[in-house]
Amino acid sequence: MASGVDKSFDDEFETYLHRMFYIKPTEETTKCDPSIVECFGVLSLTDMRAPDRKLWYIYYCKQPEVDDTLNRIFHKYGKKNMCEIFRKPTFSGVGLRARVKTYFSEKKWLVKGNLLEAPPKSLYNNDRMVRNITDLYNEERKMLYTYICMKHDAFSRYYK
């Protein structure tokens, strides 16, 4: 940016929403109902029988259900074999899951249910996986931001 100060997407989005709805910013934080916020996460999975396989498990659930969901996954695959590499709140966990599955299936990965498996001898590791998932997450948020901007423009044209 020209000012030299980088603003995050959240800050820009909040500023735009305040301008769009003519709301004065307040110093207090708004309270969010955690029961309606969805989380999307990725777990790195190590297969003890074939350690050269590169596996990841994707999940989504409501905020209060995260612990139960992770316990169920850990019980199925073993807690020692998994570590969480990504977890973010999202507008639609189902939508982001579909976007992630489509992205990796187009790259000729084995996608079965919630498991993602990289092809043999691929260069993917947890860091590269986090970068790709973060890019997909940011695209999802940008799509929502664009939709709100489009609706605002249509609304403002209608009332002029």
Report, as an integer, the average pLDDT of 120-128: 89
What pLDDT does residue 22 have? 64
Burial bucket for residue 10 (CB in 10 Å: 0-12, 13-18, 19+): exposed
Report, as an integer, the average pLDDT of 99-127: 91
pLDDT, tens only, 136-160:
999 988 988 888 888 888 877 776 5
What pLDDT does residue 1 have? 41
pLDDT, tens only, 45-89:
988 888 788 999 999 999 889 999 999 999 988 888 899 999 998
Higher-confidence residue: 118 or 15? 118
Element (H, E) at 49: none
Cα(61)–Cα(59) distance, rounded to whole angstroms? 7
Cα(160)–Cα(158) distance, rounded to whole angstroms? 6
Whether pLDDT at 5 is above 80? no
- What count of other Cβ atoms lies within 10 Å of the Cβ of residue 55? 18
Instruction: Print burial letters for 85-115: b (CB count within 10 Å at least 16), e (below 16).
Output: ebebebeebebbbebbbebbeeeebebeebe
